Structure 1
Amino acid sequence: MIYTITLNPAIDRLIKVRGSLTKKKTNRVNNTEFDLGGKGLHVSHVLTKFRIENQALGFIGENNLEQMKKILEIKEINHQLFVEKGASTRECIVIVDDSHNGSMMVTEDGFHVSDENHQLLIDFIQQQVTSKDMAIIAGSLPPDYTLQKLKEIMRMLKKKGCFIGCDLSGEALTAAVEMEVDFIKPNQFEAEELFANQESHFVDNIRKLAKKIAYVVVSLGKDGSYVVHGEEMYRVLPPQIKERNDTGAGDVFVGAFLAQLAKGADLQTVIRYATGCSASKVTKSDCTSFDIHEAEGFFNEITIFQMGENQHVIS
């Protein structure tokens, strides 16, 4: 079982604008849709499409509970989300136009999570998670949700002996590194923040991280990624595609990466699926859709360099 943990879930309101989005101009809306939001929930969606057993954990607001439940049902997300009374699950407004220059996102902060619901999550982990499971904590922290609470979740997962992945940023990412989790996926800027007090070269710093963390992925957006596992380090160049909406692409990468790890695939296969699925996502107009067969069709367009003294192209 893979457990995804979304501490600050969201409902994505996808607004499609006619023409190109322009400041100081009346931009006409062509269509509005609602989609699944929150990094961990996105990962659950990917795992479900790969037919990997998973359960989404986290919190959900009472006020728009039915709307969120409907979205979860459509996406076939198996979940155990603890309801916060008197609260509303936040909305993320994603604006897409016809320019194919990517999306624009405006997001609410989210609701305050009670100590009682936090404890319910801790109790669930204590009772249900085993050493054979995997867990991924992904996304932002809710307002006033302390690092101590996040670390309590990580400590409980550590105690269980399961694989722990984290797609976090800022102080939360630093805490994950300090806890020596098994997987992280910072982007380039988040990684540079981790290395702020280190004088070594960026690539050398990534290698150092991999001495404490089994799988380190540094996302470079449309320029690909670095992937490190043990002594293996790869520079990955994605296929060249026509971008429509890049929102959720990183979450699809994480979901596909974990799905292939769960299947026992070799690292190069893991990288191909993660990169291909992420590229497929970017070609779609909504925030979650991707096509596995399309991703497999991208495999020959993905370039993987093995880095080291004898750097060479694998494909």
Structure 2
Amino acid sequence: MIYTITLNPAIDRLLFIRGELEKRKTNRVIKTEFDCGGKGLHVSGVLSKFGIKNEALGIAGSDNLDKLYAILKEKHINHDFLVEAGTSTRECFVVLSDDTNGSTMIPEAGFTVSQTNKDNLLKQIAKKVKKEDMVVIAGSPPPHYTLSDFKELLRTVKATGAFLGCDNSGEYLNLAVEMGVDFIKPNEDEVIAILDEKTNSLEENIRTLAEKIPYLVVSLGAKGSICAHNGKLYQVIPPKVQERNDTGAGDVFVGAFIAGLAMNMPITETLKVATGCSASKVMQQDSSSFDLEAAGKLKNQVSIIQLEER
């Protein structure tokens, strides 16, 4: 089983307008759609699309629970969320143009999780997760969810012996590295910040960081990524596609990468699959969709070069 943990889930309200969003102008909404938000839920959506058994965990607000659950049902995402009484899951307003690329995101901060539910999540993980499972913790934490809380969460997962992947940022990413998780996906700037090293080359920094992390993928944006695994470095060059919206491309990559590992694919094939799925995502207008058939064709256009140590 693969478990995803979304500490600060969201309901994405997609607002489609004509042309660019402009100040001092009535930007009329021509269509509204809803999607689930939060990196962990996006990862679950990808895994479900691959037909891989998974369950989304996290903490949702009681007041709009039916709306969130309806979206998760539509996305075929199995879940076992804890519920925080008397509050609402945050909404993220995403403004999209019907004839231009990109999006504008306006996310709410989310609610403060009670100590009771922080403790209940740890108990839930200890009860559910087995050594042969995989766990992915992805996305930003809610307000007042401290580093100490996050450390206890990581410690609880690691105590099960399960594979642990983290797609977080800032101090939470640094803590994940410090505790030796199995997978992270930082960008180039985050690698420098983690190591506090600006003089070494990117390759040297990646090799250093890979000594702590078994599966390390460094995102280079439109230029692709570099993956470090088992003492080897792989430069991944993505196919050229017509970009409509790159929001969520990283989440799709993570979901597909974890899917590849779960299916015991070779690392190079896993990287090709994940990159093909991510490329398909940027061709879509919303923040989480991708096409499996198109991704399969794009996978064949991905180039992988093994980098030799200098």
TM-score normalised by L of structure 2: 0.96
User: In the alignment, what sits opposite 2:285?
Assistant: 285
Q: Give the equivalent residue in structure 1 for 2:200.
A: 200
> Within 5 A, what are the aligned runs for 1:208-223?
208-223=208-223
Equivalent residue for 1:266? 266
CA offsets 1:289-309 (integer angstroms, 9 cap, x no match) = 111111110123212121115
AA of the residue aligned to 2:201: H
Name stretches of at least 5 consecutive residues in structure 1 with no aligned partner: 311-315
Aligned twin of 1:250: 250
Deviation digits for residues 184-236 of structure 1 (CA, Å, limit 9, x no counterpart): 01123322322334532222111111111001111122221111112221111
Residue in structure 1 matched with residue 74 of structure 2 by the alignment? 74
3-state DSSP of counterpart to 2:191: helix
Structure 2: how far apart are the matches of 1:43 and 1:64?
A: 22
- RMSD (CA atoms): 1.4
Would you say the 8 A contact 2:195–2:209 is kept in 1?
no
After superposition, the Cα gap between the structure-2 partners of 1:275 and 1:100, relative to the gap in structure 1 and judged at 3 Å, is farther
Partner in structure 2 of residue 236 of structure 1 = 236
Structure-to-structure mapping, 1:1-315, within 5 angstroms: 1-197=1-197, 199-309=199-309
Superposed displacement of residue 21, structure 1: 2.6
CA distance in 1, matches of 2:219, 2:227: 9
Specify the SS of the correspondent of 1:298: helix
Give, as a single letter, the amino acid of the residue that structure 2 aligns with 1:13.
R
SS in 1 for 2:199: coil
Q: Is 2:45–2:75's contact at 8 Å kept on the other side of the alignment? A: yes
CA contact under 8 A between 1:244 and 1:284: conserved in structure 2? yes
Q: AA paired with 2:173?
A: L
Give how far 1:99 is off.
4.9
SS at 2:240's partner residue?
Answer: coil
- Mapped partners of 1:16, 1:254: distance in 2: 27
SS in 2 for 1:301: coil
Pair 178,86 (structure 1): closer, same or farther in 2 beyond 3 Å: same
Contact 1:211/1:230, CA 8 A, preserved across alignment: no
Deviations 1:247-280 (A, max 9, x none): 2111110000000100000011100110000111
State how many pairs are aligned: 310
Contact 1:134 1:162 in 2 (8 A): yes
Deviation at 1:151, TM superposition (A): 0.9
Q: Secondary structure at the match of 2:81?
A: strand
For the residue of structure 2 that corresponds to 1:48, the secondary structure is helix
